[in-house]
Amino acid sequence: MSTPAPIPAADPAYVRIANVTKKFGDFTAVDNVSLDIQRGEIFCLLGGSGSGKTTLLRMLAGFETPTSGSIRIDGTDMSTIPPYERPVNMMFQSYALFPHMSVEKNVAFGLEQEGLTRAEVARKVAEILDIVKMGGFGARKPHQLSGGQRQRVALARALVKRPKLLLLDEPLAALDKKLREHTQFELINIQQRMGVTFVVVTHDQEEAMTLGTRLGVMNHGRIVQVGSPSDIYESPANRFVADFIGSVNMFEGQVSQEGPEGVRISCAEVGTTVRADRAVTCSRGATVWTAIRPEKITIRRSQPAAAAGENVLRGTVREIAYMGDLSIYLVQVESGKMVRVTLPNTMRGGERPIAREEKVWLSWHGSSPVVLTE
């Protein structure tokens, strides 16, 4: 019985963060976070500024040491391993390219630390520069490159050592919108080609949704919810997540009826009963919140044929924002509360659109509302 426990070869958790806390003086940046990241996935840590996501990333890189808890990468405890010995590379938000070195030298820097021959270094540098489409720029200095090109060099420099884990700190934040969209897909492409596990930190929920195979939403140093992008969007765990990811209409109410086929919540705030066709663990009379995404609400001029007073609201259109692909309607319901509705502009020209100050009916399907107890 004295044989040491063998490290399981097929441990599903490639990176295991267990009860990690990081304090800076009195401030707790990361608060008892436990998280498993699988091999080959793109895991996005999403949160506002000060949510602790960057601190968590820096602990993975080794720039910060956890106050308590442990980090294992591929089964190895990282607590005593300095950054320069970790099988991890990072792409910095500022890119942190060495200004006095050419693109080639920047990319070669990591390989030179491994003691490879010159020819090998040159071959690997050329290969990775081709992958990020910077083949012809090897002799340039970083200040002679555009923002997008610098981003590619930073990516090449981080990838050239074939790390087990690549950490990306706000990888697209410095790029303009068009380039960002393009680069997002390219990042996914490169990740799949090279089979590296990515951990991405971002404050941009759109970026997280498109990049991530799974997301971890952070708030005040804690992980609030972990799940696939659609899990998090469609089934947020609480009001913070519902509100942080996308936009949402949140109505407070009391549970008036609950059963295995669903719940009814009377929302005095908007003057209707919300019926959700999903079982929720809550008791009658408890205060809960219903969250309904703007695109899941139907807006029309005539009264919908729904059960009277259930999942239906009457109001007046106060604002319309035309976004091209869709329009946002701000509807003031009879109780005075504003409800946000989005409608895709599927038809060009089409029938007479709903105008401002028009009286409208809002309704939604019983599967749309999410009932949140916290």
Partner 1 sequence: MRLSQLAGRRLVAGIPILWLIVLFMIPFLIVFRISFSEVRLAIPPYTPLITWHHGSPSLEVHWSAYKFLFTDSLYISSYLYSLKVAAVSTLCCLLLGYPMAYAIARAQPSVRSVLLMLIILPFWTSFLLRVYAWIGLLKNNGVINNVLLYLHVIKEPLALLQTDFAVYIGIVYSYLPFMILPLYANLEKHDPALLEAAADLGARPFTAFRRVTLPQSLPGILAGSLLVFIPAVGEYVIPTLLGRTDQIMIGRVLSDEFFENRDWPVASAVAILILLILVIPIMLFQRAQRRELEGAS
| Cα 343 → chain centroid | 24
Sequence letter at residue 158 = A
Angstrom CA distances, 241 to 58, 95, 105, 231, 310, stand at 24, 29, 43, 11, 26
Q: Other C-beta atoms within 10 Å of 1: how many?
A: 2
Q: How far is the CB of 221 from partner 1 (least distance, A)?
A: 22
DSSP state letter for 235:
S
Sequence letter at residue 156 = A
Among 52, 62, 171, 212, binds partner 1 (CB under 8 A): 62
Among 22, 124, 157, 214, binds partner 1 (CB under 8 A): 157
Based on CB atoms, which residue is closest to partner 1, 55 or 342? 55
Q: How far is the CB of 95 from partner 1 (least distance, A)?
A: 9
Window 113 to 152, contacts with partner 1 (CB under 8 A): 113-114, 143
Pairwise CA distance, residues 42 & 39, whole Å: 9
DSSP state letter for 67:
S
Based on CB atoms, which residue is closest to partner 1, 50 or 83? 83
Q: How far is the CB of 112 from partner 1 (least distance, A)?
A: 9
Window 158 to 187, contacts with partner 1 (CB under 8 A): 158, 161
Taking CA 289 as the corner, what is the angle to CA 288 and CA 291, rounded to the nearest 5 degrees? Answer: 150
Q: How far is the CB of 166 from partner 1 (least distance, A)?
A: 11
Pairwise CA distance, residues 7 & 168, whole Å: 28
Residues in contact with partner 1, shown as a per-residue x/- string from 17 to 56 under the rule CB under 8 A: ----------------------------------------
Among 12, 24, 63, 310, binds partner 1 (CB under 8 A): 63
Angstrom CA distances, 362 to 297, 302, 303, stand at 6, 10, 9
Based on CB atoms, which residue is closest to partner 1, 163 or 253? 163
Based on CB atoms, which residue is closest to partner 1, 161 or 275? 161
Identify the three-state secondary structure at position 192. Answer: helix
Q: How far is the CB of 212 from partner 1 (least distance, A)?
A: 22
Q: How far is the CB of 31 from partner 1 (least distance, A)?
A: 24
Window 80 to 119, contacts with partner 1 (CB under 8 A): 82-85, 88-90, 92, 94, 96-100, 109-110, 113-114
Interaction of residue 65 with partner 1, rule CB under 8 A = no
- Say which residues have a Cβ less than 8 Å from residue 42's Cβ, sequence separation at least 6: 188, 191, 197, 198, 200, 211, 212, 213, 214
Based on CB atoms, which residue is closest to partner 1, 29 or 107? 107
Q: How far is the CB of 121 from partner 1 (least distance, A)?
A: 13
Angstrom CA distances, 95 to 59, 64, 149, 193, stand at 18, 19, 11, 22
Based on CB atoms, which residue is closest to partner 1, 44 or 111? 111
Q: How far is the CB of 93 from partner 1 (least distance, A)?
A: 8
Identify the three-state secondary structure at position 102. Answer: coil
3-state secondary structure 158-171: HHCCCCCEEEEECC
Q: Are 61 and 88 in contact (CB under 8 A)?
A: yes
Give the pairing of strands 359-364 and 312-322: antiparallel
Q: How far is the CB of 218 from partner 1 (least distance, A)?
A: 22
Based on CB atoms, which residue is closest to partner 1, 160 or 372? 160
Q: Which stretch binds partner 1 (CB under 8 A): 24-32, 76-84, 191-199, 256-264?
A: 76-84
Taking CA 237 as the corner, what is the angle to CA 233 and CA 242, rounded to the nearest 5 degrees? Answer: 50
> Footprint of partner 1 on this chain (CB under 8 A)?
61-63, 82-85, 88-90, 92, 94, 96-100, 109-110, 113-114, 143, 157-158, 161
